[in-house]
Structure formats: C-alpha cells, structure tokens
Amino acid sequence: MLANIFTKTTRDRFFGLSAAAVSVAVMFLGGMAVYSQIDVSFYYEMPQALLDLMGIPVGGDVAGLAFGAIYGLIGAMTLAGIAISMGSGAIAGEERQGTLGLLLGNPQSRTQVVVSKAASMVMLLGLASLFLWGAGLWVPSLLDVDMTGIHVGALVFHIFVNSLFYGFLALAIGAWTGNGTVASGTAVAVMLVSYLAAGILPLVESLENLAKIFPWYYFNASVPVINGVDWSHMAILGGLAIALFSLAIVGFNRRDIRGRNTGVTILDRLRANPRTAKIVERIAGSARVSRISIKTASEHQGLLVVCVMIMFYLGLMIGPLWAILPESFQDVISQYPDVLLGMIGAADLSTPEGYLQAEVFSLMGPATFVALAALMASRAIAGEEQSRTMGLLMANPLRRSTIIIEKTLSMIAYSVILGVATFFGVWFGNLLGGIDIPISNLVATTALLTLLGLVFGSVAMLLGAATGKTRVAAYGAIGVTLAAYFAFSFLPLAESLADYAKWSPFHFYLGSDPLTNGMAWGDAAVLAGIFISLIALSIPLFQRRDLRG
C-alpha cells in the first residue's frame, strides 16, 4: 500500500497526464514539420489586425503559427481538460467509487485530503508543463526553425496557471456537491464558453470589455508567446485558483459525505412520486438489471444535460453574433488564406455557413460529442469492473454481448438527443440572426457530427472491452481523436501529405462541407461502418477476457 494520499494520487494520474503531454508534443512536432514546408510569405500580405489575433510575429511566423495553433489551443485545452478530470475525481470521484471512507478512515483530516489531492495536481501539471517547455525548445532546433521573438517559457507558464484554474474549479464544485459529473461538466462548460467569448468579443468594439470577465482572456489575450509573461493576468488567474482551492476546503469540511449508493437519480425521484411511479416503472423496468440501457442512461443523465446545454446555447449564440459583427470584421476574415481554412474544414469565414462551421462544428461540436460518447463508452465495461458491479450484472442471465449492445444503445440514444439539441440551438440562432441555411443542411451536419462522436465512442468501447481499464479507454479515445483532428487539420497544408488526411474520420464529417452542400451519404455510410465494426469487434474481445476482480 502506498505511503500517503499524495503518492497514491500521483501514481494514479501520472500515466494519463504523461500520455496527454506526449501527444501534444508529437502533434507539435508534426505540425511544425508541416508548417516548415509551407511558403509563409502570404502572411505579410494579411492585415496586421489578423496577425495580432493569430499571435504571429514578423520574422518568426512559422514558429509563432505552430505554437499558437498547437500549444496555445490544443495543448492548453488538453492540459486544462486533464486538470478538470483530476479536480472532479479528487473528492467526488472517491465518493462515487466508494473509496473516500477508506481515505478518511486513516489519520487524515478532510483538509489534509484536499491539500494532498491539490498538491498532486500542481506537481503533475508542473511536470507536464516542463515537458512541453523542453519539447518547445527541442523541436524547433531539430527542424532548424527560426525562434526569433518566441517566448516558449512564457506560453507554457500561462498554460500551467490556466490549467490550475480549471482544475481547482472542478475540485471546488466536486468538494461542495460530491457529484463528479456536475463538477467536470460545469468546468468544461466554463472553459468552452470562456474560450469562445475571449476570442470573439474583442472583435466587436462595443463588446470588447466584456471579454475580461472570462478566464480564457487572462490566459491568451496578452499573446504570451510573443510578449512574454503578463504578470497581472497571471496574478488574476492564480488568485482565482487559490480562492477556488480555499472554497474546496471549506465545502468539503462542511458537507455530509454521501455513501457509495446514495445518489438519487431523476428516475428515482419519478418513482417516488405517486403520479409518475407507474409510468416510470414501465419505462425503467423492475429493480432487477433487466434493462441495462435504462440503467446506463440514468447513470449519465447529468453528463447529457451539461453537453446539451453547451451545444444548444452555443448554437443559439452564434447566429445573433454573426448579425452584429461589423463589416470591418468580415473584411478581415475574408482575407484568410485557403491553407489556414483547412484547419476548420475549409470553411469560408466570410459567409454565415463558414462562420457557423468554424465556431460550432469544427472544434467545439466534435469535442462535446466525443466527450459524451467516449465517457459513456469508457465506463460501459471498464467502469463496471472498476466499480465492482460487473459481477452483479453477470450474475443475471445475460450474455456478455448483450451487455455491450445495451450499453451501446444508451450511447446512441444520448448522442442522438445531443444532436437534436444542437440542431434546434443552431436553427433558433439562425432565425434570430437572419441566417438562411436550409434545414436539410443543418440536419445533415448534425447527423454527421453525431456519427463522428459515436465513432470515437466506439474506440473507447473497444479499448474498455479489451483491457477493462477506464483510463486506457478514455485516454486512448482522446488520443485517437486528437491524432485524427491533427491529420485532418494540418496534413493538407503540405501537398505531399494531403492525401493522408482522407484517412481521418474528420474528413468524412466535414470534408464534403455539409452546411453548404447537404448530406454526403457515402461519408455517412463510412462513419456508420466504422462505428458498427468497432462495436462488433468489442464483443469477442470482451467475451475472451477474464474479468478483473
């Protein structure tokens, strides 16, 4: 047994964070290798406002583009996402797994538990940041890329403090509520909304000051990769992180700890109401595990609600925002070169279809749909084993294949619900903003987005069925998603590598420009085929494996 909570938490989280840091470094190596093959002279013809927005310094444009696109966006979101996972699992995760009582059974106060968990998070994020700093210095040297005017350490330090803020936000929410889904979902929602607001609001003069209420503004508004560390911004983010850490201690010390099985779901509340009890019993089945799909859906309802809120309100916001953008902004974005538009699915940002694709469907949409499907799938098999509930399922007259099929049906149902919510959010937003996009094209795009999420969800299902380990399933699916996004976004920038981008699932999602051209049935069939094949492969892998005790 490990000596203390700090050591145990560090060991448990080290692999996941290491995999994330290495993945970002590999993407950075590939991205800079691609950018170094491009004639970047077109940057000097772009408006200075756009160069400032992208953070590309004169004379250091290749390095600036690589650091901005990969470290400043993908790297920052990846480390912040891992920090959120650590923060939400620190207290709420221990309660969900029924292990918090074991921790508190030792001579450790609640404050000491929170401090140990937080210290482990700080150390691991610090190590990951140091690794990215080293990779940021080594890769340009390896590729002989000019680093004039680039402050790698400043950017990495901003990423570190930014990650701490979101990690402590999830820690505080989890400590006060004991609900890991609420903690992670809320923190992710804050991060995504903050990123969009900090990037869009400064482009509208009348809304510029509103951007300062969003945390992402203090991470990237000063363009640290060019201008160095902005200590005032870091003081604000760091101060907020310390305040959230203090709130976590207060909340955990004041709250009664929930037992492992004391969580009350929506179905439980409906069963307790005499007016709805009979209907719910018919829908949910008996107390026996006769409908695994209903049980699984009930367990992930909080995650679904968070994802639905993110996508619905995001879609609702973009239409009116497009309508109020000044003409000067449209003049700027119309000058984006084709080589960069490939990073957002070759969208024409001077049109409402292209702007909608860039803001909703190119990054935020896939991230939300993949998060929903991959988290459900990673817990479908591996989560049952980790929670020691697989034995209860297998004690019933159920085949292993039935368990996977039922779990998959729940994942499909929730992904479809999220797709419907996304469609209505975008549709209502278009009506408010006066954007005339055919409904059939919106349906096609959301359908393809739903299939994309299910593809990467099936990757998590496959890994979970094969290994029985939640972290392998979740981080493996995230790694495959990032690699596929990298291939689709960056490989087309080099003519010799462009054909390889067609192997990415993202190509079958956005490659046909469904918002403009409607449904590409062949692409939809490919995504559906990949999903069905991976789920089918999960069944024999699960059937042949000994279950972990």
Number of domains in the chain: 2
More confident residue, 235 or 107: 235
Task: Spell out the residues 6+ positions from residue 353 whose beta carbon is closer than 8 angstroms to its own.
Answer: 347, 437, 441, 513, 515, 516
Inter-residue contact 54 to 144 (CB < 8 Å): no
DSSP string, 489-537: HHGGGSGGGGGGGGGSHHHHHHTT-HHHH---HHHHHHHHHHHHHHHHH
Inter-residue contact 138 to 57 (CB < 8 Å): no
375 with 497, same domain: the answer is yes
Query: Dmax of the chain from CA atoms?
Result: 72
Cα separation, 479 vs 283, whole angstroms: 37
- Among the listed ranges 74-78, 140-144, 158-162, 544-548, which one has the minimum average pLDDT value? 544-548
pLDDT tens, residue by residue, 28-55: 776 677 666 555 555 545 544 444 444 4
252 with 303, same domain: the answer is no
Inter-residue contact 381 to 465 (CB < 8 Å): yes
pLDDT over 90 at 315, yes or no: no
Among 5-9, 110-114, 198-202, the range of highest mean pLDDT: 110-114
- Among the listed ranges 152-156, 196-200, 307-311, 544-548, which one has the minimum average pLDDT value? 544-548
Report DSSP state, residue 346. Answer: S
Q: Does the global pTM surpass 0.75?
A: no
Give the amino acid at 525: A
For 264-274, what is the mean pLDDT? 56
Cα separation, 211 vs 467, whole angstroms: 44
248 with 294, same domain: the answer is no
pLDDT over 90 at 166, yes or no: yes
What mean pLDDT, rounded, does the chain reach? 78
Q: Count the neighbouring beta carbons within 10 Å of the beta carbon of residue 405.
A: 15
294 with 227, same domain: the answer is no
pLDDT tens, residue by residue, 505-538: 998 998 888 988 889 999 999 999 999 999 999 9
pLDDT over 70 at 107, yes or no: no
Question: Is residue 269 domain-resident?
Answer: no
Q: Range of 303's domain?
A: 290-549
> Domain boundary residue among 238, 256, 274?
256
334 with 250, same domain: the answer is no
pLDDT (0 to 100) of residue 167: 92
> Above pLDDT 70, what percent of the chain?
73
Question: Is residue 244 domain-resident?
Answer: yes
128 with 188, same domain: the answer is yes
Cα separation, 330 vs 349, whole angstroms: 8
Question: Is residue 324 domain-resident?
Answer: yes
pLDDT (0 to 100) of residue 432: 80
More confident residue, 502 or 229: 229
Report DSSP state, residue 45. Answer: G
401 with 473, same domain: the answer is yes
Question: Is residue 166 domain-resident?
Answer: yes
- The number of residues making up the chain comes to 549
More confident residue, 282 or 310: 310
pLDDT (0 to 100) of residue 325: 58
- Among the listed ranges 47-51, 178-182, 412-416, which one has the minimum average pLDDT value? 47-51
Task: Spell out the residues 6+ positions from residue 239 whose beta carbon is closer than 8 angstroms to its own.
Answer: none
Cα separation, 362 vs 305, whole angstroms: 22
299 with 231, same domain: the answer is no
211 with 307, same domain: the answer is no
More confident residue, 323 or 174: 174
Output phi, psi for 474, to 5 deg.
-70, -50
End-to-end CA distance of the chain: 17
Cα separation, 163 vs 77, whole angstroms: 8
Question: Is residue 26 domain-resident?
Answer: yes
Question: Is residue 276 domain-resident?
Answer: no
- Among the listed ranges 55-59, 172-176, 206-210, 436-440, which one has the minimum average pLDDT value? 55-59
Tokens (6 digits) for 369: 């749909």
Question: Is residue 270 domain-resident?
Answer: no
> Domain boundary residue among 202, 236, 256?
256
- Among the listed ranges 178-187, 320-329, 489-498, which one has the minimum average pLDDT value? 320-329
pLDDT over 50 at 287, yes or no: no
Question: Is residue 390 domain-resident?
Answer: yes
Inter-residue contact 549 to 473 (CB < 8 Å): no
Q: How many CA atoms lie within 13 A of 518 on its CB side?
A: 4
pLDDT (0 to 100) of residue 39: 55
Inter-residue contact 365 to 445 (CB < 8 Å): no
> Domain boundary residue among 256, 275, 304?
256
Cα separation, 121 vs 431, whole angstroms: 44
211 with 341, same domain: the answer is no
pLDDT (0 to 100) of residue 61: 63
Q: How far is CA 83 from each of CA 155, 198, 443, rounded to the nearest angstrom?
A: 17, 20, 34
Cα separation, 408 vs 387, whole angstroms: 19
Give the amino acid at 55: G
213 with 77, same domain: the answer is yes
77 with 217, same domain: the answer is yes
pLDDT (0 to 100) of residue 193: 81
Q: How many CA atoms lie within 13 A of 142 on its CB side?
A: 11
pLDDT tens, residue by residue, 297-314: 666 776 787 678 778 877
